[in-house]
Structure 1
Amino acid sequence: MGEVSTIIEIVARELLLFAAVGLLVGGLDDLLVDLIYIVRRLIKGPATPIRSYALPQPEQPGRMIVFTPAWDEAAVIGAMLSTALARFRHPDYRIYVGLYPNDPATIAAAADMAERDDRVRLVIGARDGPTTKADCLNTLWHALQHDIAVEGFRAKAIVLHDAEDVVHPDELAVFDSLIEERAVVQLPVLPLVVPGSRLVSGHYADEFAESHIKQLVVRTWIGAGMPLAGTGCALSPAMLGRIAASRGGDPFDATSLTEDYELGLRIAELGGEGLFARVADGTRGGVVAVRAYFPATLVAAVRQKARWMTGIALIGWDRTGWGRALAMGDHWWRLRDRRGPIAMLVLAAAYLGMTADALAVSIHWIAGTPLPPVDPGLRFLFGVNALLLAWRLAVRMTFTGRAYGWREALWSLPRFIIGNFVALAAIPRALIRYIHVLRGGVPAWDKTSHHFPDLSPQS
């Protein structure tokens, strides 16, 4: 038993050392973002959102265009369109819904709304689904160009929305005001916590709160390209036209699994100005934002995280490269975008190391032998990482609390563990999808099923 114990102790020590160093690097990386955010606040003061009613009046005319790609969305598309039509406070807009010929249920649900309101325009693509979301968006782009040629109107902005989104009444007015001097405007995305799934669905709320209150602010401040959330963003038709001209007519890369992320970086490379807009809507602590239910089960969450990881962290190395040569902030943040698989490898080593260490302790306890001393260097790393973890949890609670209140801030602590588990479980699926693409496989829309919230007054 002595030899077995020794081997297990060596394995545990090496795994924990690897994990401790990796966690230290990642923790310091995150701490640097926090420090930059604090410095920015000290220089510029608290980021007080501008009031929606105080936005400058639009000077340029034009119709606001909403693109909503929909594959297998019969359960939500009708409610989404009905809510958007009832909520949007803007005099001139049109919603283009991208559909597939082999998805009759979604076509029927969308057609029901189109019959009631001519501001809904159905566009059925030529190919059966699922293709990719980017391919569906390209179909909508070409339909828009056709309509402009026939009707002669001017499209001022193209707004991206998913079929499960709960739109904000003021968002088109915000986009109308802010897009005039910019290539892209992104609103915050605030995931709704699904009833009965506070842990799984709620971890998206924590991650987006920190990302859209802190990380995007820091990212744009240091000059890094702003990736888009794929929803709640307005794009300049001129910029999309410029990108389309360089791609044979399609502004969105149909082979991409994360077209929103890549498009934001591409716009930055072309010199387009992006704005992350936090606009107060007049309610207590409320901002103009997009809200939606995110996956509520572990299986669905793993599928979604695997798609993001494949498109950004794995395929992203090949597809987006490193951007502008001297943009060091951009290089740093792209590296952060792609650290997910390495971070999960470090996390897996930590879990395995703790398991091996617990096994070694058990063997010593059964045998009645003394435990070997912990290496001083390893003890030091454990102490530093414990402090960094405590800081990370405090930061996560702070931003979740700002967006959702103190109750959800407390829930963010157990959800931190859930988020790590989901990301860890997503690694094998992401690697399988990545290998599939490397071997010449065609990317497909690996979407999760969606639900639309009950917005009735009594709910």
Structure 2
Amino acid sequence: MTQSRRLMGRSSWEFQGMGFADGGASALFAALDLIRVELLLFAGFWFVIGAIDELALDAAWLVLRLTGKAQTPRLFEPLSPQLAAPIALFVPTWREARVIGPMVRHTLAAWPHAQLRVYVGVYRNDPETARAVRLAAAGDTRVRLVVNGRNGPTTKGDCLNAIFRAMRRDEEAERFRFRAVILQDAEDMVHPQGLSLIDRGLDTADFVQLPVRPEPQARSTWIAGHYTDEFTEAHAREMVVRDRLQAGIPAAGVGCAFDRNALDRLVLARDGQAGGEPFTPDAMTEDYELGMTIGRANRNGPGRGGRFLRVRAADGSLIATRSPFPHRLDAAVRQKARWLQGIAFDGWDRLGWSMHPAELWMRMRDRRGPLVAVVLAVAYMVLLLSLVLAVAQWAGWHQQAPLPPVIVWMLVITTIAFVWRALVRFAMVSHEYGVLEGVTAVLRIPLANIIAIIAARRALFRYIGTLFGKPAQWEKTEHDYHPSEVKP
């Protein structure tokens, strides 16, 4: 601050001999110069901290790669078509008549396992989706339509609990017990070997998560495309590191499976009695909380924790859930605001913290979203101020003072860090989607930042609303096509 005052004093003194007509304008530019320096200090500090954090994760990933602990294995022999025990697939829906039919048909064809049962949850005031489910099932006895007795939309957690109750009624009536519960969304496209891989993963874990592979959309190269960049980097790097460090694995809500016994233990620990429902009805990201809670049980109790399974099939395809993400700005903002609210704000309240080093590190990364948005907003303000001051200097109205050395070094470090991050993103996206998509991924970084800033503001105000009693509501993204309908 002292340095900034000296800069402001110097700028004001220098203005006296410039012949500028309005001394007030001179003071204004000097004040803008001061503000720019202060904002640079704030943004630069947090950018350096973020760069250290990302470089630490990169270093961990590289060490794991070099030691062979982070390689993506390939299945050259087909997985068993038989499941160890029955598995239930939950698909919660709200106004998904356009995509639920193709999703159900594709899932039944890709996963022909007789021990699979698909539970599709619909609301009583959404008959179109219910009709689409019945038509898609075409008499297949593995499909169960579950009608929520409440009008929708409530929350995703409430819809999942309605499905859970229906599953438990089937267990009691038919005198058997499912091994696990898998979550998918109505717009998802499963991999043919995904179910068998999940079944095998449950042999050693209470929760398994497959990668999510966003589908590129020609109509939305930029907005929908930025999801491919973020998920590719997260599910090829961060999730792999979390798995190897035995930190909590956050459930993505799709392509994830929970052991039935682990769900019962979770309900017992939370409610003090058996027979309850595992999904938090007023949570924005009930899947994230469930995955993290089961991972914590591994550290504090009898559970086996979670695993992230990144595996390729014999044909080289990633065994993952393929999904189309929002292609409009408003929809992307709503979705990311829900994630930010659920993970950063609600997650802090509901899950707390952990003193285990790896777990603490990853929870801090999970909850940094709002802070990152603030820092990015400040950085863009600095760019705007720098542009204004550059114009003033070009016009001869103001002479910018030299930046303090500490800020210069911050700018050097963050510039190098940004170039490195862009190279990492380019490499990972190119590996999965091709070089052209990798180049576009770098160009999409500013847009991703803008979406994050807007979403953080929305998430904050929504969270404040819940503190004053505003009920949670499922803000669904509208989908107008299913990936199985797109010809390769």
Normalised-by-shorter TM-score class: over 0.9
Matched, 1:356 2:388: no
- Runs of at least 4 residues of structure 1 off by over 6 A? none
Matched, 1:274 2:306: yes
Distance 1:78 1:298 in 2: 26
1:270-309 equivalence runs, <5 A: 270-271=297-298, 272-283=304-315, 285-309=316-340
Q: Which residue is 1:254 aligned to?
A: 281
Question: Does structure 2 conserve the Cα–Cα contact (< 8 Å) formed by 1:228 and 1:263?
Answer: yes
Pick closer, same or farther for the CA change 1:30–1:127 going to 2, 3 Å.
Answer: same
**How far apart are 1:105 and its partner, in Å?**
1.4
1:195-210 equivalence runs, <5 A: 195-210=218-233
Distance 1:242 1:264 in 2: 13
Question: Does structure 2 conserve the Cα–Cα contact (< 8 Å) formed by 1:65 and 1:155?
Answer: yes
Q: Tell me which of 438, 441, 446 is aligned to 1:417.
A: 446
1:407-446 equivalence runs, <5 A: 407-446=436-475
1:338-353 equivalence runs, <5 A: 338-353=367-382
Pick closer, same or farther for the CA change 1:452–1:311 going to 2, 3 Å.
Answer: same
Q: Secondary structure at the match of 1:166?
A: coil
Normalised by the length of structure 2, the TM-score is 0.89
Matched, 1:183 2:206: yes
Distance 1:41 1:394 in 2: 17
Counterpart amino acid of residue 137 in structure 1: L
Q: Which residue is 1:333 aligned to?
A: 362
Question: Does structure 2 conserve the Cα–Cα contact (< 8 Å) formed by 1:52 and 1:280?
Answer: no
**How far apart are 1:451 and its partner, in Å?**
3.1
1:55-94 equivalence runs, <5 A: 61-94=84-117
Matched, 1:13 2:13: no
Aligned residues: 455
Q: Secondary structure at the match of 2:246?
A: coil
**How far apart are 1:253 and its partner, in Å?**
0.9
Q: Which residue is 1:263 aligned to?
A: 290
Question: Does structure 2 conserve the Cα–Cα contact (< 8 Å) formed by 1:64 and 1:172?
Answer: no
Counterpart amino acid of residue 304 in structure 1: Q
**How far apart are 1:441 and its partner, in Å?**
1.7
Matched, 1:119 2:142: yes
Pick closer, same or farther for the CA change 1:307–1:454 going to 2, 3 Å.
Answer: closer
Distance 1:331 1:383 in 2: 29
Question: Does structure 2 conserve the Cα–Cα contact (< 8 Å) formed by 1:62 and 1:153?
Answer: no
Matched, 1:378 2:410: no
Structure 1 alignment gaps of length 5 or more: none
Distance 2:111 2:378 in 1: 49
Higher deviation after alignment, 79-88 or 106-115 = 106-115
Pick closer, same or farther for the CA change 1:61–1:382 going to 2, 3 Å.
Answer: closer
Question: Does structure 1 conserve the Cα–Cα contact (< 8 Å) formed by 2:86 and 2:177?
Answer: yes
Distance 1:381 1:27 in 2: 11
Normalised by the length of structure 1, the TM-score is 0.95
Higher deviation after alignment, 359-368 or 142-151 = 359-368
Q: Tell me which of 226, 232, 239 is aligned to 1:216.
A: 239
Question: Does structure 2 conserve the Cα–Cα contact (< 8 Å) formed by 1:161 and 1:232?
Answer: yes
Counterpart amino acid of residue 166 in structure 2: A
Question: Does structure 1 conserve the Cα–Cα contact (< 8 Å) formed by 2:117 and 2:144?
Answer: yes
Question: Does structure 2 conserve the Cα–Cα contact (< 8 Å) formed by 1:89 and 1:169?
Answer: no
**How far apart are 1:273 and its partner, in Å?**
2.3
Q: Tell me which of 301, 313, 321 is aligned to 2:352.
A: 321
Larger Rg: 2
Identity %: 39
Distance 1:42 1:202 in 2: 30
Counterpart amino acid of residue 3 in structure 1: A
Counterpart amino acid of residue 215 in structure 1: E
Q: Secondary structure at the match of 2:145?
A: strand
Post-superposition CA distance 1:103-160 (Å, at most 9, x none) = 1111111122234322110011121111111111111111111101111233122111
**How far apart are 1:34 and its partner, in Å?**
0.4
